[in-house]
Amino acid sequence: MSTGTRHTAKDAVAVALQVVDALRPHVDRIVVAGSLRRRCLDVGDIEIVIIPRPYEVGLFSSGIATVLEGMEKVRGELGPGCRYTKRIHQPSGIAIDVFMAKPKNWGYILAIRTGSAEFSKWLASKWVKKGYHGVDGYLMKGRNIISVPEEERLFELLGLEYIEPWKRNM
C-alpha cells in the first residue's frame, strides 16, 4: 500500500538494498516484491517478504525489530502473530511494507505481494474457481492448509503456466 508519493525505481532500489542488507542476518529468506520485482520505473512503496529466523524471545525482541523500530511506524506491531508492518524509511520517506511468511506459505505470500493489485485479484479469481480460499496468509481448501512453498506451486495448483514477475503488470 502506497503513501501516495511516487519514487524512482533507482531511489527505491537503493533503499530496498539497504533495508534487505540490514534484515538479512535475521531472516531465513528475503525477497523484494511489489513494483520493484515487477521492474516498474516508479514505485509508491517497497514491499519485502521475509521468513523470520526463529527466536526464543519472539519477533518483538529480534534483530528484525531492531532494524524496523528505527523507522517511523505507520501500522503493525512487532510481536507474536505479526504478519505485516508498514514503516517509513528516513531520510527517503519511502514506505516499507514488510510481510512475514513461513515456509508453507512463502510462494503464496510472494505471489500476492508481487502483484500488481489487478494481477493478485485475477489470481484470487482463479483459486476461487478451483475451490480454494485465502485465510490468514494461507491458501486453504476447506479447512486444510495447502502448502505453497514457491510461487511456481501456486501457478501449478491453478493450472496456469508460471508468469514472470515483470509480466504481471495488468
Same domain, residue pair 25 and 93: yes
Q: Which CATH number do you get for residue 125?
A: 3.30.210.10
Same domain, residue pair 123 and 91: no
Q: What angle do CA 99, 105, 111 make, to 5 degrees?
A: 65
For residue 132, being part of any structural domain is answered with yes
> What per-residue confidence (pLDDT) applies to 169?
85
For residue 17, being part of any structural domain is answered with yes
Same domain, residue pair 74 and 20: yes
The DSSP symbol for 62 reads: S
Same domain, residue pair 71 and 120: no
For residue 134, being part of any structural domain is answered with yes
CA-closest candidate to residue 33, choices 87, 99, 104, 124: 99
CB 53 within 8 A of CB 28: yes
Q: In sequence order, which residues have a C-beta less than 8 Å from that of residue 62 and are 6 or more positions away?
A: 26, 52, 53, 55
Cross-sheet strand order for the sheet of 144-146: 133-135, 138-141, 144-146
**C-alpha cell recorded at residue 98:** 514488510
**C-alpha cell recorded at residue 88:** 517509513
Q: Among 100, 115, 147, which residue terminates a domain?
A: 100
- Residue 142's φ and ψ, nearest 5 degrees, are 65, -125
Same domain, residue pair 88 and 129: no
Task: Tell me the residue range of the domain where 60 lies.
Answer: 7-100
Q: Among 56, 82, 100, which residue terminates a domain?
A: 100
Number of domains in the chain: 2
> What per-residue confidence (pLDDT) applies to 60?
54
Residue 109, SS3? Answer: helix
Same domain, residue pair 91 and 126: no
Question: What whole-number distance in Å separates Cα of residue 116 and Cα of residue 17?
Answer: 21
Residue 99, SS3? Answer: strand
Q: Per-residue pLDDT for the chain (170 aa), expressed as one digit of tens each?
A: 455 789 999 999 999 999 999 999 999 999 999 999 999 999 999 999 999 987 644 555 578 888 988 899 999 887 777 889 999 999 899 999 999 999 999 999 999 999 999 999 999 999 999 999 999 999 999 999 999 999 999 999 999 999 999 999 87
Same domain, residue pair 57 and 23: yes
> What per-residue confidence (pLDDT) applies to 56?
43
Where residue 32 falls (left for φ over 0; alpha for ψ -120 to 50; beta otherwise) is beta
Same domain, residue pair 32 and 54: yes
